[in-house]
Copies of this chain bind each other. A is one copy, B any other.
């Protein structure tokens, strides 16, 4: 009989925190031993999240190294800049660490500081950390003690482009990623822009001059392409709760064959349990992945011309955050890859 692994969550009051709790509540091989929140310390989890009533007999606690270091694995579901201050101590105590924020996503510390507006607290760990997109780095994640969980937009965009870049099938210099996110991507913080009356029944672009996910996407696509890619990334806010839809445009030359590209997608993701390559001409809806860890992708070449259109849909809180983190956890702890993640999408 396998021993149950002990899991701790730092910063459990946000949407990625509660989503981790939802997933781990039904995970067969792990137990949540601690969930921390400075502001809510002492309160029962189910008071803040009635959807968890009866599932966890657990109160929020202070994020001390003692408590956290005793876990087999610690998730940081915290704002940017938190995990980098505590990760070293926890690793030394023997816990593995997954950061769902951006602290370890970059290779370049200076680039990170420029986009995140603060000094990085541990450049060494940033270099050590593994970028946890299992569709790219599965083997490395299995060996890692520190994993940077990818951003939501970067996940959707990379899965839509990896086969093309790896095979050199598109122009790498004129990639456009027009991305649309549900409002939960902005987190559970009390911000005017995320109010139902501000974000509801309306649509807008934001961060067009430069969004923090731009350098992350660009760096990872460049690794896949073997050269620095040219990328325009425009995020939009959509009046829905969950979901990201990426509409990706790439230029192809006369020799491009759509069937070959489709075959490349199917081969590339054949062994990836959470990527669904849809038939040519499909239009994935975000609700078809709601609550699940699946990414659905579909290819189009409108009018057979030289612009390829790739559609990619995920649930930003699952494949774009907590679900991918659990996937990484499974890999890091030697559990079955899909454990706890065989969840049916909720539709309608």
Contacts and interface: CB of A to CB of B under 8 A. Distances in A.
A232 B183 contact: no
Interface stretch (A74-82, A133-141, A198-206, A327-335): A198-206
A240 B205 contact: no
A178 B198 CA distance: 23
A240 B232 CA distance: 26
B184 A348 contact: yes
A12 interface: no
Number of copies: 4
Interface residues of A, number: 84
Interface in A181-207: 182-184, 188, 190-192, 194-206
Interface string A220-242: 00000000001011101011111
A290 interface: yes
Contacts of A53: 276, 278, 288, 296
A259 interface: no
Contacts of A190: 190-192, 195
A29 interface: no
A285 B234 contact: no
A281 interface: yes
B195 A309 contact: no
A37 interface: no
Contacts of A243: 201-203
B176 A195 contact: no
A284 B22 CA distance: 18
A27 to B, nearest CB: 11
A85 interface: no
B307 A49 contact: no
Contact of A240 (B25, B203, B276, B282): B203
9 contacts: A22-B347, A51-B347, A178-B249, A194-B196, A195-B196, A196-B241, A204-B313, A209-B302, A242-B348
